[in-house]
């Protein structure tokens, strides 16, 4: 890891939207102390339980955020993509990471000290407002995840995951997965075997086409129906 790249935040094309409310001096202050890092696929960005000193802004790649458990399987509670940063509820509570972040693809990120972040929130109401909006969105995603996992069976849950991937990660009905089957399982709260069987059923029913990691949603309407009916 740790191949440092650099441009300025002010001209950065992959800058997180959260920084749009900052003025040039504020952006420069962020730029001055930011650390740009490259992670290879599979590398840990941070571990659940460790102290959190930095906000992680993803500039390229894909990151999975998951809850670890000694006895049981992991559960992916979210994915982070450019142009976004990883939400960090511990930054305002116990200064610990609530989950582990791992790069699914080769990923570049900028680390921003949480002190600066806190200062910006105190001094720039628009930044604070945007930050609250992002936290709210994250809360809603968590609520949606609870709803999906507790109120739906395997097909409904897998439908939710495929819809989420196409709408929020790949922005297309057709995409090449960089998540493993195990990841899909962890994301939909089931075992790898169940995930594979659910996908196989969708393929048989012509709802998706599936060749290795190439997925195309052929019948989004039916997938939506399966999601709704659980």
Among 181, 205, 218, 224, binds DNA (CB under 7 A): 181
* Residue 176 beta carbon to a copy of itself: minimum distance, rounded to whole angstroms: 28
DSSP string, 76-118: EEEEE-TTEE---GGGGTTSB-SSEEEESS-EEEEEEEHHHHH
> Does residue 206 belong to the site contacting a copy of itself (CB under 8 A)?
no
By the rule CB under 7 A, 180 interacts with DNA = yes
Picked from a copy of itself, DNA, none, the partner binding residue 199 (CB below 5 to 8 A depending on kind) is: DNA
In the beta sheet, which residues pair with residue 57?
Answer: 85, 110
Q: Binds 93, which of a copy of itself, DNA, none (CB < 5 to 8 A, cut-off by type)? A: a copy of itself
> For 142-207, where are the E strands, in sequence order?
174-176
CB-CB neighbours of 143 under 10 Å: 10
Other beta carbons within 10 angstroms of residue 37's beta carbon come to: 20
In terms of CB distance, is 56 or 177 closer to DNA? 177
Does 67 interact with a copy of itself (rule: CB under 8 A)? yes
- Separation CA 163–CA 220 (nearest Å): 8
Asked if residue 69 binds a copy of itself (CB under 8 A), the reply is yes
CB 1 within 8 A of CB 37: yes
The footprint of a copy of itself on this chain (CB under 8 A) covers a number of residues equal to 42
**Per CB under 8 A, does 151 bind a copy of itself?**
yes
**H or E element at residue 188:** helix 181-188
Binding site for a copy of itself (CB under 8 A): 67, 69, 71-73, 75, 77, 87, 89-93, 98-99, 121-123, 125, 128-129, 131-133, 135-140, 142-143, 145-147, 149-152, 189, 229-230
């Amino acid at each position: 890891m740790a191949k440092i790249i650099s441009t300025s935040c002010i001209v950065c094309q992959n800058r997180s939207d959260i920084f749009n409310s900052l003025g040039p001096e504020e952006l420069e202050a962020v730029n001055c102390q930011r650390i740009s890092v490259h992670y290879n696929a599979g590398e840990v960005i941070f571990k659940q339980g460790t102290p959190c000193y930095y906000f992680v802004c993803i500039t390229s790649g894909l990151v999975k955020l998951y809850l670890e458990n000694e006895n049981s399987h992991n559960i992916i509670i979210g994915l982070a993509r450019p142009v976004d940063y990883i939400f960090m509820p511990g930054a305002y509570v116990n200064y610990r990471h609530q989950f582990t972040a791992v790069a699914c693809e080769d990923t570049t990120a900028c680390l921003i000290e949480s002190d600066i972040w806190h200062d910006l929130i105190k001094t720039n109401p628009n930044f604070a407002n945007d930050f609250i909006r992002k936290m709210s969105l994250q809360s809603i995603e968590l609520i949606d995840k609870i709803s999906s996992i507790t109120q739906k069976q395997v097909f409904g849950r897998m439908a939710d995951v495929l819809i989420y991937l196409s709408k929020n990660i790949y922005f297309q009905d057709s995409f090449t997965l960089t998540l493993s089957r195990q990841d899909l399982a962890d994301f939909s709260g089931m075992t790898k075997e169940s995930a594979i069987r659910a996908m196989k059923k969708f393929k048989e029913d012509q709802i998706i086409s599936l060749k290795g990691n190439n997925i195309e949603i052929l019948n989004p309407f039916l997938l939506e129906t399966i999601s709704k009916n659980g």
